[in-house]
Amino acid sequence: MLTQKGKYAIKALIYMAEKGVLVKTQDIADSAFIPKKFLEAILLELKRHGFVGSQQGATGGYFLIRPATEINLADLHRIFEGPIALIACAAEKFYKPCTDCENVATCTLRIAMKHVRDQTFDVLEDITIQKLVKSG
Amino acid sequence: MLTQKGKYAIKALIYMAEKGVLVKTQDIADSAFIPKKFLEAILLELKRHGFVGSQQGATGGYFLIRPATEINLADLHRIFEGPIALIACAAEKFYKPCTDCENVATCTLRIAMKHVRDQTFDVLEDITIQKLVKSG
DNA sequence: ATTATATTCTACTAATTTGGTAGAATTACA
DNA sequence: TGTAATTCTACCAAATTAGTAGAATATAAT
């Protein structure tokens, strides 16, 4: 299951993609039913990862930097949820060897989980924010 | 990511399928590097769900009840990890409507997440304990 | 310049989940 | 009747989650 944070991030990005222009945190919060203070932290994280930009001051807000067609759920999953794989030894970007596995090469669980990861990744990567925009 | 509990459950079942006979908790724990006391709780849960049986007493232990070909990762995931879907409103067995979604029918996120769930389910359901057994 | 309103930053917190342990009770075989 | 296994109840520390509080800073309009 996604965390609330991850789900909010997706919803916020969808909203921003629909608007297409600079939007206030408050507007996103109201429209997507996200606690404003919590949303602030999420937007800052999205900014750090280069998905959105911000403008400070009275007429400030946030806006998409990258095109909505190039933001996919696989990338967002890695940022807010961690590895796509179900076990670390089957992960690609978050790979860590098992400590409780005597033979990594022949470990059937790892091989199976790698297959699960690859399938899941393909599905998630194909879903872009643009595809989640209404009439998109 | 799987919890340790879920991962241990799979490894314990693989071990029992490989042995094919009654095995002691201690043997599973040693072989799969699982803390024995923690494993006990996991085996009891597997028993409650009808995957394994137990015999008490000095010569007791656990054994598979269902054939290894009929225990798949989708079922185990539901027991130890919860819903297969990434959000509750896209789940099949754990369905819960969103509180923060004005139009359930047209919610693009739900539809996309349902697709992710269906793909993930198909992959997980296809992986049985038998397939994870060495030379199986 | 001042004010209003926005983002940014630091810190804190309550609730839940995770990953276990401890120890007693029970069962059954030898 | 002892031994060795499962079963049961209760507890616990650490990590994660889902936030909140409040001050600092930046910018545009008055």
Tell me which of A12 and B105 has the higher pLDDT. Answer: A12
CA A16 – CA A52 distance, rounded (Å): 9
Tally of residues, chain B: 136
pTM of this structure: 0.96
Indicate left, alpha or beta for A128 from its phi (over 0: left) and psi (-120 to 50: alpha).
Answer: beta
User: Cβ of B39: how many Cβ atoms within 10 Å?
Assistant: 21
Nucleic chain D contacts, protein chain B, residues 2-41, CB cut-off 7 A: 24-26, 40-41
Query: Does residue A128 sit in helix, strand or coil?
Result: strand
d(CA A69, CA A130): 5
Is the distance from CB of A47 to CB of A53 less than 8 angstroms? yes
Binary contact (B116, A123; C-beta < 8 A): yes
- Alpha-carbon span A108 to A30, nearest angstrom: 48
Confidence of residue A83 (pLDDT cuts 50, 70, 90): very high
CA nearest to B62, candidates B80, B79, B48, B47: B47
One-letter amino acid of B80: F
pLDDT-derived band at B102, boundaries 50, 70, 90: confident
Residue nearest to nucleotide D16 (CA to C1'): A3
CA of residue B99 to C1' of nucleotide D24, angstroms: 35
* Element at B54 (helix H, strand E): strand B52-55
Q: Is A131 on the interface with B (CB under 8 A)?
A: yes
Q: What is the per-residue pLDDT for A136? A: 59
List the single residue in B14, B100, B133 with the smallest CB-CB distance to A33: B100
Reported as a pLDDT band with limits 50, 70 and 90, residue A21 is very high
Both structure tokens of A68: 């909505």
- Chain B CB contacts of A119 under 8 Å are 119-120, 123
Is residue B70 within 8 A of residue B128, CB to CB? The reply is yes
Of A19-23, A57-61, A65-69, B101-105, the range with the lowest mean pLDDT is: B101-105
